[in-house]
Amino acid sequence: MKCATKSLLTLSVIFALTACDGDNGKDGQAGTNGKDGNHGSAGQTGSKGTDGANGMTSLLNQLTLPMGNEHCYFGGIALQSGIDSNSDGKLNEPEIKQTNYVCQPSPVTSQGAVLPYTAMRSDLQNGDIAGSTFEVRNGGYGSDMVAHPTKNTQFYALTDRGPNATYTGDYGKGKKFPTPDYTPRIGLFELQNNGQIVKLKEILLKRPDGTPITGLPNRSGLGGTGETPYDANGTPILVDNTQPYDPVNNPLKLDDYGLDGEGLVALKDGTFWISDEYGPHLVHYDANGVELSRINAFTGDDRVELNLPAEFANRRANRGMEGLAITPDEKTLVGIMQSTLYNPSKTVKDLDIVRIVTINLETRAVGQYLYKQEKNQNSNSGIVALSATEFLVIERDGAFYNTTPDAMKRIYKIDLSDATNLEEVASSGQLTQDEERGLLLQDNTLEEVVLEQGWDALNTAGIVPVSKSLVLDLVEQVSYPHDKLEGMWLIDYTRLGVLNDDDFATWSTNGTLEQKYLDAGKTQVDGNRLYLFEGLILNK
């Protein structure tokens, strides 16, 4: 019985193992895709949609710009573009979206533009050039220049006392005046779009009674420095040249109204202010050149109602108030001396300290500031106002670039805001105010302090000069060839014209009259030239 049971069990197991499924086999390879079926036929075209609204019309205006335009000073074209939003076929002001300018290039090249002139005389021997004569030119319009108050293509220019040259004769140091009856004057000029300059008119300067003045020196009590006037031959100019000299009955011919004009201001009412080198005097003239009033430092002059600080009477001969400006509101005159005052004497001549004066024409308040030059005995020969406190100032030497490569002709921007007003410094301790010498430090004039101790001594005492920054270096920009850069024409805050003093093309060497040349070879005669600079940023 045990064996039968065991066999049945074994068979059952074998049977069970025989009945189980085996593992799945590997997939076969994929078959190739069948071909795409044919496309169905196209459906019917849909119905046409409605038209959209018409678009707006774009328009273009072309305008011709005249000479003096703020965008194109010498004229040009303005191209205005925009959308005709009201569909009237015109591009109206509100519809203009963009304006492009095509400007005429400046015809005033780096050589400048020549001012017109005539010859007053051409019979004088030309220096040491045997058999040659030269022209004394009725030019000389370069002592200063200023913008016409309302016409930005026009400018006024000023002459000084007339053709003259340093000379020492039997009656002492003085000047030769080859045209002694010359009347100083103002010229009105216009710059054309071709770069040429036209003189529109000239205004001769006159006394209060309407008679023409001369450029002969003043008496010493009114600012004259004892210069003797001589004619072209070296003969003293007398009250009556047909009679011999007599100090009482026939003295030297002087002119208390004579003016050696150097600074010019043109007001909107048509009147002018001029500063000069004789007094210095500041004289107010009407539109016809007749004197209205004057300001100077001489309390004994019964022609004046307002005086400059007394120390301005100590001007160095031929280096008086070289520049004059007025603030944009036409309330305050601002004058700058050419060089260091002889305050108290010429011992301080070789310095770099220059005085600026301000005169409020309404309140009559007078202010005074200091300017520090780049080199001793440089000349500040022009000033023009940018604002109530900011000004452009010319600083130059007396050299010709053609013969002196390191000649200096520069324009600086100055600011009075943080400078010390000398007239407002109260007497206290070491600082005192003196009626004749002005503000003193330890009883020395400010000029004496700079001479003996330098500018640091003034700074220590709290006396700060005006700040300055360079705007233009004309030697670097245009190889400026003239010796006397003296006039500035502020057209706007991006354009500035400058003008030189040609001295009527008259010069002298060792007292001998000759033509004024720019070069040592005596081939280029000096003349008034306008140079124009654009692309400036003067109001920042």
In a domain, 376, yes or no: yes
pLDDT band at residue 19, thresholds of 50, 70 and 90?
Answer: very low
DSSP3 helix / strand / coil % (the chain, rounded to 5): 10, 40, 50
Q: Are residues 325 and 178 in the same domain?
A: yes
In this predicted model, what pLDDT tens digit does every residue of 167-217 receive, in sequence order?
999 999 999 999 999 999 999 999 999 999 999 999 999 999 999 999 999
Assess whether pLDDT exceeds 60 at residue 494.
Answer: yes
Determine the straight-line distance between the first and last CA of the chain, rounded to whole angstroms: 129
Q: Which CATH number goes with the domain that contains 369? A: 2.130.10
Cα 325 to Cα 304: distance, rounded to the nearest angstrom: 20
For the full predicted model, state whether its pTM sits above 0.85. Answer: yes
Q: Cα dihedral angle (515, 518, 520, 525), rounded to 10 degrees?
A: -40
**DSSP SS3 for 416:** coil
Q: Looking at 74, 103, 132, which one is the last position of a domain?
A: 103
Assess whether pLDDT exceeds 50 at residue 261.
Answer: yes
> Strand (E) positions, 31-171?
58-65, 76-83, 96-103, 113-114, 118-125, 133-138, 144-147, 154-158, 165-169
Average pLDDT, the chain: 92
Q: Are residues 174 and 312 in the same domain?
A: yes
Q: Are residues 462 and 317 in the same domain?
A: yes
Pairing of strands 306-307, 291-296: parallel
Residue in 109, 134, 114, 131 with CA at minimum distance from that of residue 522:
134
Mention every residue, 6+ apart, whose C-beta is less than 8 A from residue 399: 406, 407, 408, 483
The pLDDT score that the predictor gives to residue 23 is 55
Q: Are residues 77 and 198 in the same domain?
A: no
The pLDDT score that the predictor gives to residue 284 is 98
The pLDDT score that the predictor gives to residue 223 is 86
**DSSP SS3 for 12:** helix
Q: Are residues 338 and 218 in the same domain?
A: yes
Q: Are residues 99 and 132 in the same domain?
A: no
Q: Are residues 324 and 433 in the same domain?
A: yes
- Is the bond preceding 105 in cis, omega lying within 30 degrees of 0? no
In a domain, 333, yes or no: yes
Assess whether pLDDT exceeds 80 at residue 48.
Answer: no
Instruction: Give 50-79 as a 3 state SS string.
Output: CCCCCCCCEEEEEEEECCCCCCCCCCEEEE
Q: Are residues 119 and 99 in the same domain?
A: no
Q: Which domain holds residue 233?
A: 113-533
Q: Are residues 273 and 138 in the same domain?
A: yes
Assess whether pLDDT exceeds 50 at residue 12.
Answer: no
Assess whether pLDDT exceeds 50 at residue 8.
Answer: no
Mention every residue, 6+ apart, whose C-beta is less than 8 A from residue 56: 83, 84, 85, 87
Q: Which residues make beta-bridge pairs with 113?
A: 530
pLDDT band at residue 14, thresholds of 50, 70 and 90?
Answer: very low
Residue in 521, 367, 365, 393 with CA at minimum distance from that of residue 468:
393
Q: Are residues 85 and 231 in the same domain?
A: no
Cα 342 to Cα 348: distance, rounded to the nearest angstrom: 6
Q: Are residues 99 and 120 in the same domain?
A: no
Mention every residue, 6+ apart, whose C-beta is less than 8 A from residue 68: 151, 152, 153
pLDDT band at residue 29, thresholds of 50, 70 and 90?
Answer: low
Cα 160 to Cα 506: distance, rounded to the nearest angstrom: 13
In a domain, 19, yes or no: no
In a domain, 37, yes or no: no
Q: Looking at 82, 103, 124, which one is the last position of a domain?
A: 103
Residue in 149, 236, 122, 157 with CA at minimum distance from that of residue 515:
122
- The tokens describing 454, both together, are 């330098």
In a domain, 30, yes or no: no
In a domain, 46, yes or no: no
The pLDDT score that the predictor gives to residue 55 is 61
Burial category of 504 from C-beta neighbours within 10 Å (exposed 0-12, middle 13-18, buried 19 and up): buried
In a domain, 173, yes or no: yes
- Span 100-110, mean pLDDT? 95
What is the DSSP-derived secondary structure letter of residue 94? G
Percentage, residues of the chain above pLDDT 90: 87
Q: Looking at 73, 103, 133, which one is the last position of a domain?
A: 103
Q: How many domains, the chain?
A: 2
Among 85-94, 252-261, 334-343, the minimum mean pLDDT is found in 85-94
Q: Are residues 407 and 298 in the same domain?
A: yes
Q: Which residues make beta-bridge pairs with 381?
A: none
In a domain, 29, yes or no: no
The pLDDT score that the predictor gives to residue 9 is 32
Assess whether pLDDT exceeds 50 at residue 11.
Answer: no
Instruction: Give 166-225 as a 3 state SS string.
Output: EEEECCEEEEECCCCCCCCEEEEEEECCCCCEEEEEEEECECCCCCECCCCCCCHHHCCC
Residue in 45, 199, 205 with CA at minimum distance from that of residue 115:
199
Better-scored residue on pLDDT, 31 or 152: 152
Say how many residues make up the chain: 540
